[in-house]
Amino acid sequence: MPNLHLTDLSVKALKGSDKHATYWDTTTPGFGVRVGKRSKTWTVMRGRTRERISTGKYGDMSLADASRSEAAPCRPHKRSEASEQNR
């Protein structure tokens, strides 16, 4: 599976083919774009079962919106100092 730093320009430059290809973002774990013959779809891989969830289509949803909407739960959460003191 190819990895790519996803930017608006890099996603726009991806060419479709008869087979689907998924390009995973190098900066956001579990977030990528699936490129088919006619469309590009934002996708998120979640959980131990590696469930793939489509979040929207490129063009209808920007990269920023797609990464914020579904990929945010995939990012590691930083613990606040208050929660560390309560442990």
* pTM for the full predicted model: 0.71
**Is residue 43 exposed (0-12), middle (13-18) or buried (19+ Cβ within 10 Å)?**
buried
Q: Which of 37-41, 59-63, 67-71 has the highest mean pLDDT?
A: 37-41
The 40-46 sheet, strands edge to edge:
3-4, 21-25, 31-35, 40-46, 51-57
- Cα dihedral sign for 40, 1, 29, 11? negative
Tens of pLDDT, residue by residue over 28-44, are 888 999 999 999 988 88
Tokens of 29: 């774990």
Q: What's the mean pLDDT when you consider all of the chain?
A: 79
Check if the beta carbon of residue 54 is closer than 8 Å to that of residue 74. no
